[in-house]
Structure 1
């Protein structure tokens, strides 16, 4: 049964990532976040086959765990992007101040994330997932052949992505681009899950979605960096440090400018005949 198999695989992936956090491994917090997202995506993919409210509750718990890991991951990405964007024209002392603040924030956020990931609520969530995966409560339509049901489920995810992607313009708001990124990710995960049954067609869909997700992920990273630096610039101005605020403003503009080529690249690829 594909639903049960997907839940078992997702639960093992989450359990492994939690173990990575316990062992202090690199990228562990990010892997917990990815595991939560993949499980939530599978639950959404199969939602028409699931009976009762258990899937909604699980998706909510998984979302809360992913959110607890979000700040640390975002700060990790932002700090790396800021380091890449620094030039010899930037004030070295200001750069050190900015990176020190970001690193300190990252350390605090990582500690908070680890506390949640290794807490009792996460252990209970994994135990619940194990129990449900052993015998998920399904609707009668789940008895239909996977080859009949899966194309409809995957098509639904793909249509939602294309509806939103068709509306994107070079001047669309950052939030609109972010929404399309999330939908591309959902298509990718859905296609990955379906590939064992649908074969090459689903694999091709997953590959295309992964390309879109990568481009839009880079776009979102620059948006997040610009927002974080803007907040830091506001704080510097409030503390009557206009020179630091100026450096932060320069860095912010670089990340805002980085959005344009990524938007152009996505639209060119998406609308390619």
Structure 2
């Protein structure tokens, strides 16, 4: 990855110019991760790609209100598809590393565990082949189109604030408000609402990282630390749900039986 684009951000930077800098560096980061991922098979490379896409999606959310509507929608769709392309492989990687391996460590001779792991690895390999085909298309088609969008972006576009600092603080307030709302809903609405809360927390976390030079330092650092800690707890709940689904797939449990089984909160 090239030099940190936040080093060029100042309070008086025009918001669209900030998006152009962050967007270009974010795309290059994704391209670097794609190149690595297409050359070798390491689970951390899949995770690194998804983090890079997640970061750029947060940047898009921050600056979305001042971008041309068609551009915002196209970027949202393209980045979502890019994240989804690696989603299944990441799920299998987490399942094998955090569910099956600890179980095997406790019962190394269990034939059922070995059979489930073998099935999971086969399905993970199939998911990887599908992922690579999709990512190759994104590298050749999607990413060049996003670069062209940035090259033609009117850098004087803004929301009336003219400067990055007031714009950034307004968007941070919006992100925090959304997170609070989703926390309240997650207390009553179950796993789907919890997942939406997790997404809102990640968005706020990466927004802080992108905008750190124009945010109050101590407050931003404290909030970022709190978000990282909270994301770990929410991630465990969501990962447990995914592990339950993948285990059922490996055991060929019919979907109607899966749906009828209770889900731990």
Corresponding position: 1:209 with 2:245:
no
Corresponding position: 1:21 with 2:71:
no
| TM-score between the two structures when normalised by the length of structure 2 | 0.81
Corresponding position: 1:37 with 2:81:
no
Give the whole-Å Cα distance in 1 for the aligned partners of 2:149 and 2:216: 27
Match of 1:46 among 41, 45, 63: 63
- Quote the offset at 1:74 in angstroms: 0.4
- Quote the offset at 1:160 in angstroms: 0.6
Q: Which has the higher contact order (CA 8 A, sep 6+)?
A: 2
Match of 2:94 among 74, 77, 80: 77
Corresponding position: 1:6 with 2:47:
no
- Quote the offset at 1:167 in angstroms: 3.3
Give the whole-Å Cα distance in 2 for the aligned partners of 1:131 and 1:40: 17
- Quote the offset at 1:199 in angstroms: 4.2
Corresponding position: 1:168 with 2:186:
yes
| TM-score between the two structures when normalised by the length of structure 1 | 0.79
Give structure 1 stretches of 5+ with no counterpart. 237-251, 260-273
Match of 1:133 among 142, 150, 160: 150
Give structure 2 stretches of 5+ with no counterpart. 1-16, 255-260
Give the whole-Å Cα distance in 2 for the aligned partners of 1:88 and 1:211: 28
Give the whole-Å Cα distance in 2 for the aligned partners of 1:183 and 1:225: 22
Give the whole-Å Cα distance in 2 for the aligned partners of 1:199 and 1:19: 36
- Quote the offset at 1:109 in angstroms: 0.8
- Tell me whether 26-35 or 222-231 shows the greater mean CA deviation: 26-35
Task: Provide the aligned length of Structure 1 versus Structure 2.
Answer: 243
- Quote the offset at 1:5 in angstroms: 1.3
* Residue number in structure 2 paired with 1:105: 123
- Quote the offset at 1:231 in angstroms: 3.6
